[in-house]
Amino acid sequence: MSTVIDVQHLTKQFGSFTAVDDLSFTVQDRDVYGFLGQNGAGKSTSLRMLLTLIQPTAGDIHVFGYSIHTHKKDILRQIGAVIEKPDVYKYLSAYDNLQLFAKLCGINPSHKQLMDQLELVGLAERAKDIVKTYSQGMKQRLGIAIALIHQPQLVILDEPTNGLDPQGIADIRNLILRLSREMGKTVVVSSHLLSEIEQMATQVLIIDRGKKKVEGKSVDLFDPAQTIVKVEVNDYTSAIQKMSESNWATHLTTDGSHSLLFSLHRDQLPQLYKDLAALDISVISFQPRHSLEDYFLKITSGKPHVQAYTN
């Protein structure tokens, strides 16, 4: 598998503030590469440097094996991107927007090609409606259609699900997966939403305050065997004794808060709940949580940013 992006020691300073600090990472062909971090972690700044929208203070960026400094035009011809919210003409239709941006890219697609592109992002039935009438999710999908009009090999999406309802988030997620799995494109997607990166990414980079914290395969980081369940009970002393004598004893720990903690595979959750009832343990709350959330809090800025990862 070939390397599409190779970033080494990337740094960006704005005066005395370091937004990106000695960041290195690689993205392989056909990856969905999740760029994960809280708001303000340096994700957008890093992606803007990849797209030459801002100049790095230090470091090297190679895309498709070429330096972004010496082969800028050749590289950018093969990249499609949406950074933050897409800029479209709201008084034009989706079809006219797509046609206009295609011409700006120096291409002249046929009517069928334009409609196929809108069909790809689920907008074919609204092709002639002006963008002003679109929901935010539809505008996001139109932005992605525009980014794909010149058939790029690399797609960069910065917080593509921001401000979307659950259906809009699901639509964007499914589109990203289709770009990778069916169309063979490499996708870099940034987000502060742990759940979204978990469902999409093949590789994950966690960044905090401009620094890389961890990089690896999502199957290794998002291990379902690491689910933690916190069970608050009425009678802690009785509950701890009963569970210590049960088959759940090897999964059981405590955290000093008079709650039971179980570390187990998420497929075991229904049976645990049944066994608690069978042992006549009065449960006040049953809270499954992926242990990766705890991991994030340990390696990033901690409790003030819990919402960024769990919402």
Q: pLDDT tens for residues 157-194?
A: 999 988 788 888 888 999 999 999 999 999 999 998 88
CATH 3.40.50 for domain 224-295: no
The per-residue pLDDT for 288 is 81
The per-residue pLDDT for 310 is 39
**Domain 224-295 in the same topology as domain 3-218:** no
Question: pTM to 2 decimals?
Answer: 0.78
Domain boundaries, the chain: 3-218, 224-295
The per-residue pLDDT for 306 is 38
State which residues of the chain have pLDDT below 50. 303-311
Q: What is the CATH number of domain 3-218?
A: 3.40.50.300
Q: pLDDT tens for residues 211-223?
A: 998 888 887 777 6
The per-residue pLDDT for 303 is 46
Task: Give 23's strand partners.
Answer: 10
